[in-house]
Each structure stands twice: as C-alpha cells, then as structure tokens.
Amino acid sequence: MTANDTLYMQRCLDLAALATGYTSPNPLVGAILVHQDRIVGEGYHHRAGEPHAEVNCFASVRPEDEKWIAQSTLYVSLEPCSHYGKTPPCAELVLQKRVPRVVVAMQDPFPEVAGRGIALLRSKGVEVEVGVLEEEARWLNRFFLTAVEKNRPWVTLKWAQSRDGFIDRVREDASQRPEVFSSPIRQRYVHYLRHCHDAILVGRRTIQLDNPSLTNRFWWGTSPQPVVLDSEGVLCHQAYKVNQNSTSKPWFIVSPSAFRSQPLPENCIAIERSEHFIASLLETLASRKIQSLLVEGGAQTLQAFLDSGLYDAVDREVSPRLLYEGVAAPIFSGDTRCSLLD
C-alpha cells in the first residue's frame, strides 16, 4: 500500500458518501480509475437498482482516455460484485475493461459475494490489493454490515434532556406543548439523521401527546419509515393517522392478543411482548429490509433498548436548561458508542 493508494481510496469513500440515505438496502460504494496519478474516471452508486459504482466510473471516462483503462488502477471502496442481481456482475466488467490492478477497501460480506469477486479477478491475473482504509470503509457502511452480519438493523438512540436529567415536563394531554431543548441548527442535524436511517421508531404515548410528523422536513431527501410501538392496538383501533406528510404509512407494532377477535390490519405487525421483545422487533424489521433504525422516544422505549443492549450508537443532547422535575431521561451510564452533546 502506498500513500497514493490511501489518498485515492479516501476519494472513493467521499464519493460513496454522497449517496447517504438513498442506496438502502444496497451499500454505499465509490470507485475511481487512475492512470499515472491522474484520475481518468470516477463514479458512485446513486440508488438501489441503479448502476453500481464501477459502471458509473467506467462510463465517466472520456473517449480520449479510454486507451488508458488497460494501464490503470481501479480503486473501489467495496469488493466488486460477482453475481447477477438487478445489475450484471461488476467483477466481469472489470475483466472486460482489462484493468490490470484493483485496490479494494474491504471484502463484501454479502453471502452472494463474500470474496468471490476478488477471487475471480485474481484467477484471471488481475493484481488485487485488499484492506486500504478498511476501518473507514466499514464505518461508512455500518448499516449494511450490521444487517448482513447480525441480521438486524443498526440502532441509533436519540434524545435531548435538561442538565438535571429530564426529557420533558409531565403532560396529561396534547394541549400542553413539549419542552424544546434543541437549537434550530441542532434540529436540522436531527432531521439529517432521520434522512440517513431507513426507519424511525417511537412509542404510542409520544404519538398521542405530540402527534409528530416523523419526517425529515428540515432536511432534503427521503423520510424514514415510521414505526410505532402500540402494544394494545389503541392507535390501530382508532385508525390514528401518523406522518401525514410522508408517503410511507406507519407500521404499528402490536401484541397478538390485541387482535384475537378480528383480522390483523395491514399496517400492524404482531410481536409477542416478552424478555426478547427488542430482539424479535429488530429481526422483524430486518426481514422487511430495514437496515438502520433511529429510536426517538419516549423514555420507556429508549430505556427498553438500553436495557437490552441492542443498540449501536447513542446521540444524547444535554441542554444547559434546568427543569427541576418532569419525565426522567433514560438511565445511561455512557460508553464508547455515545455521542454526547452539551
């Protein structure tokens, strides 16, 4: 590995990140083609179902530079695929273009690839180097990797609280407005988080008190799939409308006993409440192609995830404000996964 290899791979990662929030359930991938320290082509995977990074990279090469492809190095942030999915195998395209050297950040753990693309290239005489900026590449695709390797979504827990440990005042109904701890800039960042995640989860009480839109209206791009914990099916029975500004209808997570006397509504998912409820919930969401989940509340819901240990990141904002009393914030001792904002 050379210094230039690291430099060019960082460019691949930067390109791949441009599609954050758009490629799920596919990974984020960037690729560049370099001839004698000059980038002659580059591309990234824009959306699921559209051409892969390598295809866009080769397509970007100008006609006068095509003669250099067979003397160039291809840098790609994830192993070229070797199977037929919605698009043809990228490893075969690399062979067709007669690229002599390929530098890969990391092997693709997806079962239909899992080293086969690298093996195919090497079997045809292509020099392949793997592991350049691998740690950075894994972080970029943490949602995809968690889904493949753990069969569950990456889980981010997010809340804001007062300096003395409360997330809100005690409210009886929706007529009382919630406490707001975040600045407008921070709110935009939270909506960026929503855009990055496939789904957003809240409890029934949060819906009844706040009637949140659960969209990323302070950011652009796609909004997450809303998921609501509604064990007794109260909101389903009331035909409660959630997220009216989104094209995605909410999924209500209910107990099987809530609909024993009638058919389960189409937008309801029955999961038994047990000590393994969080694990069952995440497994169910994974089966529905949800690779990342943002949990925003309320306090009991967040605490359930903390107690289960089934989370990957915590974004806890601590305001300088004091409430003195109210709804206690989740109990969190802190660990290396925590992003603490004062």
CA atoms of 146 and 314, how far apart (whole Å)? 16
199 is in an annotated binding site: no
Q: List the catalytic residue out of 54, 79, 179, 317.
A: 54
299 is in an annotated binding site: yes
214 is in an annotated binding site: yes
CA atoms within 13 A on the CB side of 134: 12
87 is in an annotated binding site: no
Which amino acid, one-letter code, is at 168? D
52 is in an annotated binding site: yes
17 is in an annotated binding site: no
CA atoms of 192 and 85, how far apart (whole Å)? 30
Q: Tokens standing for 206? A: 């949060």
210 is in an annotated binding site: yes
294 is in an annotated binding site: no
287 is in an annotated binding site: no
298 is in an annotated binding site: yes
Nearest alpha-carbon partner for 197 in 158, 171, 165: 158
81 is in an annotated binding site: yes
107 is in an annotated binding site: no
231 is in an annotated binding site: yes
CB atoms within 10 A of CB 48: 14
217 is in an annotated binding site: yes
196 is in an annotated binding site: no
CA atoms within 13 A on the CB side of 124: 18
CB atoms within 10 A of CB 110: 20
300 is in an annotated binding site: yes
Q: Is 127 a catalytic residue?
A: no
Q: Which residues are annotated as a binding site for Zn(2+)?
A: 52, 81, 90
Residues with a catalytic annotation lie at 54
Q: Which residues are annotated as a binding site?
A: 52, 81, 90, 160, 194, 206, 210, 214, 217, 231, 296, 298-304
Q: Which residues are annotated as a binding site for substrate?
A: 194, 206, 214, 217, 296
Q: Which residues are annotated as a binding site for NADP(+)?
A: 160, 210, 231, 298-304
